[in-house]
Amino acid sequence: MKKINVYLLLIFQQLIAGGTHIVAKAVVQDVDAGTVTFIRTIVAAAGLLAIVRIRYGPLNIERRDWGRLAFLGFLGVALNQFLYLYGIRFSTAANGALLYAATPIFVLVSARFLAGERITRRKSVGVFLAFVGIAIVIFERGVDFSSGYLFGNALILVAVVAWTLFTVLGKNMIVKYGALRTTAAMMFTGAVIFLPVGIPSALRFPFHQLSFLHWAGIFYLAIGTSILGYLLWYHALSRIEAGKVAVFTNAQPVFATILSVLFLDYSITPLFVMGSILTILAISITQTSGRMP
């Protein structure tokens, strides 16, 4: 029953994540990624620290663990959030979701090199097909470096790798401090690390030009994604294996594509469909890898 509840929470987390791609795409058309990331992380860090204070009191993080938490903050904020927001301006919400759906593949590879987990023949086939599918998506509109489209997809791919390492390397801290404290400490350190980029961006930005919808989008990213979404993700990691948590990112392309068609006038190309099917098929193969030696 507890695992069923975790899976339901993960489905809800993926609904939030699917909406994140739509909201982020709309917001960064008018607000630069540095400013959005700065506001998002400050609000999220303050909110998470306040929740921890109310529930538990001080964070009570051991001094020796702050370095590891700072590295998680760098991965989760400076790399994942900032590069994703910067890249999505040049790409599409559906592409961003599909690239994040490859997280299980990267988790598999990371587990091999960081934890010595054996990769079976079936897993190898899945990894190969996933990279083919991702390549199709990245190059679906041709190799046009002047358009920035390829550049945006490449940045998002780096953000996905950062999210993978954030997932795999955060496991020990979650076990030690719990999902809430770990997420709060990670977001706090990430916000501090991002200050040299975020403050100059925010000082240059004309905030008086922002509409209510702009602010609503930024707070969705801060509260919905960075607080609730991250908490649900780390909560699930404290209950089940990283690979089983990561596989739920498969739902993101479905949610994001539907929302893109409804709200962003997004047109689905045959190559996108082909890449999507191939990537999701590859992920499914890796998740059933125990059936083939």
Element (H, E) at 85: helix 82-88
Q: What pLDDT band is residue 194 in, cutting at 50, 70 and 90?
A: very high
User: Tokens for 9?
Assistant: 């929470």
Average pLDDT, the chain: 81
What is the extent of the structural domain holding 183?
2-291
Ranges 101-110, 181-190, 228-237, 271-280, most confident: 181-190
The pTM is what?
0.79
Which residues does 223 contact at the CB level (< 8 Å), separation at least 6? 43, 44, 47
> What is the pLDDT at residue 148?
65
Q: Per-residue pLDDT tens for 134-165?
A: 677 666 655 454 566 778 888 998 998 998 88
**d(Cα 257, Cα 102) in Å, to the nearest integer?**
16
Q: Per-residue pLDDT tens for 264-282?
A: 666 667 877 777 777 777 7
**d(Cα 74, Cα 175) in Å, to the nearest integer?**
20
Higher pLDDT, 16 or 255: 16
Q: How far, rounded to the nearest angstrom, does the alpha carbon of residue 215 sit from its chain's CA centroid?
A: 21
Helices (H), 205-229: 212-219
As for how many domains the chain has, the answer is 1
DSSP helix/strand/coil, 88: helix
> What is the pLDDT at residue 204?
93
Phi, psi of 155 (to 5 degrees): -65, -40
Of 136, 157, 150, nearest to 272 by C-alpha is: 136
User: Does the pLDDT of residue 94 top 60, yes or no?
Assistant: yes
User: Does the pLDDT of residue 292 top 50, yes or no?
Assistant: no
Provide the 8-state DSSP code for 238: T
